[in-house]
């Protein structure tokens, strides 16, 4: 879980401290580029293909984590 948070923070190039309860809309760097970047990271790092529809339902970092499980 900690490794996921580090990868997510690096992928978004965010200075914010992320927790599993962080709300995505509160993260300044969570934008369309991060959206696509997360789908690429999920596929490359975790072997998961995530649909944009499922990703749009995510509200917190925990929701993103659950998508890759």
2-28 pLDDT per residue, tens:
999 999 999 999 888 999 999 999 999
Q: For residues 16 and 46, give the distance between their C-alpha atoms in angstroms, rounded to a whole number.
A: 23
- What is the predicted pLDDT for the residue at 61? 98
Q: For residues 55 and 41, give the distance between their C-alpha atoms in angstroms, rounded to a whole number.
A: 13
Contact 42, 11 (CB under 8 A): no
Q: How many of the other CB atoms lie within 10 Å of CB of 11?
A: 17
Nearest CA-CA partner of 4 in 57, 41, 31: 41
pTM here is 0.93
- What is the predicted pLDDT for the residue at 9? 94
């Amino acid at each position: 879980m900690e490794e996921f948070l580090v990868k997510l923070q690096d992928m978004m190039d965010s200075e914010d401290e992320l927790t599993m309860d962080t709300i995505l809309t509160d993260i300044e760097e969570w934008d369309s580029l991060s959206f696509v970047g997360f789908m690429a990271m999920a596929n490359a790092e975790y072997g998961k293909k995530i649909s944009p529809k499922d990703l749009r339902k995510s509200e917190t970092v925990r929701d993103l984590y659950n998508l890759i499980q």
